[in-house]
Amino acid sequence: MENTIVAAALGLLEGLTEFLPVSSTGHLLLAGHFLGFESTGKTFEVVIQLGAILALTSVYAALVLRLLLRARHEDAARRSIVSVLLAFLPAVVVGVLAHDFIKTVLFESPSLIAVMLILGGFVLLVIDRIAPDPVHHDALALPLGKSLAIGVVQCLAMIPGVSRSGATIVGALLMGVEKRAAAEFSFLLSLPTMGAAVAYDLFKNRDVLDFGAFWDIAVGFAVAFVTAVLVVRWVLNFISRNGYALFGWWRITVGSVALVALWLGF
């Protein structure tokens, strides 16, 4: 029962944070550290992330399908698809080249994660105030050069605690993308990025994957899926009205508490 409760809590944490600019990976790694939780080959962590991906896919399935159907005869639709794929490309290159270093070195440093949460929080607070006036209001109509640049910025999220959505949103805001459109482009970009990352993780760890705790994995997956659906449906309207300051303070608070706990020897 205790393991199931922990699995549900981590699934909830994944669903709540995956599509917010607060670093779901950082939250999960810190939670795992303080709870003493670790699965063989990171099976649990990878599978519950898949739950969040499927949640986003279910929310955006109709939009993506319409875009693919329109792409057969509309230049604008084809350009939108190319825009997202261009932004995805840098993560493919960096992810493949640096995968082992990221997983074996950066992921094993709770203090680094806490510091990056804090620094990223201050960046969000500053950018939320000083971002240039938006000139792009449609996530599906960004210039290709800016899409690629956002993809380059996304690579910073290879450092746990930075946040994939946080990096892409900050990059987009600095390039004149409106707040809601920046978040929506981040969501669309996460479909190929997260899908490829999970598939690559499963492939790299195929020899050590352990599905023995199937029930706990299923609970975490289900909780992550449901929670992520609710978050995705809520967050765009929240950002449109309130911006990103709340997420900046959230990051600073979590990172600071984690650092204090680490200094105290927990």
pLDDT, one tens digit per residue, over 92-133 is 888 888 777 776 666 668 899 999 999 999 999 999 889 899
- Rounded to whole angstroms, what are the CA distances from 190 to 54, 75, 263? 11, 23, 34
The pLDDT tens digits for 235-259 are: 888 998 888 999 999 999 999 999 9
pLDDT at 83: 95
**Cβ(151)–Cβ(189) under 8 Å?**
yes
pLDDT of 38 over the 90 cut: no
d(C-alpha 14, C-alpha 46), whole Å? 10
> Which of 48, 42, 38 lies closest to 226, judged by CA?
48
pLDDT of residue 208: 66
pLDDT digits (tens, 9 = 90+) for 147-163: 999 999 999 988 888 99
Is the distance from CB of 39 to CB of 176 less than 8 angstroms?
A: no
Q: How high is the pLDDT of residue 1?
A: 57
Pairwise CA distance, residues 170 & 201, whole Å: 26
Best CA proximity match to 86, nearest among 195, 166, 170, 185:
185
CB atoms closer than 10 angstroms to residue 1: 5
How far is the C-alpha of 156 from the C-alpha of 154, rounded, in Å? 5
Domain boundaries, the chain: 2-263
Stronger pLDDT, 168 or 42, i.e. the higher one: 168
% residues pLDDT > 70 (the chain)? 93
Q: What is the mean pLDDT of residues 6-11?
A: 89
pLDDT tens for residues 56-72? 999 898 988 999 999 98
CA–CA separation, 29 and 39 (whole Å): 11
CB atoms within 10 A of CB 59: 17
CA end-to-end span of the chain, whole Å?
24
Tell me the one-letter amino acid at 183. Answer: A
**pTM of the predicted model as reported, rounded to 2 decimal places:** 0.87
Contacts for 145 with CB less than 8 Å, ≥ 6 apart? none
Convert the pLDDT of each residue in 169-225 to its tens digit.
999 999 999 999 999 999 999 999 988 888 877 777 777 666 666 788 889 889 999
Confidence bin at 227 (pLDDT 50/70/90): very high
Distance between alpha carbon 41 and the CA centroid of its chain, in Å?
20
- Secondary structure (DSSP) of 93-107: HHHHHHHHHHHHTGG
Question: Lowest-pLDDT range, 79-83, 134-138, 202-206, 209-213?
Answer: 209-213
